Amino acid sequence: MCSDWIRSCKRILEKIETLERAKEKDRLEHVREIRFMLRALQRSIWGWMQWVNNPDVMTKFTNEELGEINKKITEFTKSFIKYDMEITKKGEEKGLEISWRPRATRGREEIYI
């Protein structure tokens, strides 16, 4: 049995594969794809947040499984943040003002949202 979430994930992956196969993309097509990818990430992160904020869900995973999840998400996050920094630097070199990104502070940490 396959949940609705997994079925929709499969449809997203199929769409990504279709987009990857497309040839000779113009600038607008690239922008549309970037928006799609970021929205797909946002959807997935929203789902993760629903799980991680639910103790009933988190208790179903073993310490080893949580360690594996943590490692994988940490690797992905570090890679994504490093790429974000690269592109932000390119944007700044092109004269773009990047300071508009919203942020929230909690204690001493700055958490960007």
Average pLDDT over residues 88-92: 91
Q: Which pLDDT does position 108 carry in this prediction?
A: 56
- Name the domain count of the chain: 2
Q: Do 49 and 94 share a domain, yes or no?
A: no
Asked if 70 and 62 touch (Cβ cutoff 8 Å), the reply is no
Q: Look at residue 103 in the predicted model and tell me its pLDDT.
A: 63
54 shares a domain with 78: no
Model pLDDT for residues 38-62, shown as the tens digit of each residue:
999 999 999 999 999 999 999 999 9
Say if residue 75 is in the same domain as residue 101. Answer: yes
The reported pLDDT for the residue numbered 98 is 72
Q: Residue 91 sits in which domain range?
A: 62-113
Torsion on CA atoms 88, 36, 2, 74, rounded to nearest 10: 0
pLDDT in tens, 4-41: 999 999 999 999 999 999 999 999 999 999 999 999 99
Is residue 3 located within the same domain as residue 56? Answer: yes
On whether both 50 and 100 belong to a single domain, the answer is: no
56 and 66 in a single domain? The answer is no
The residue whose two tokens read 């919203």 is 102
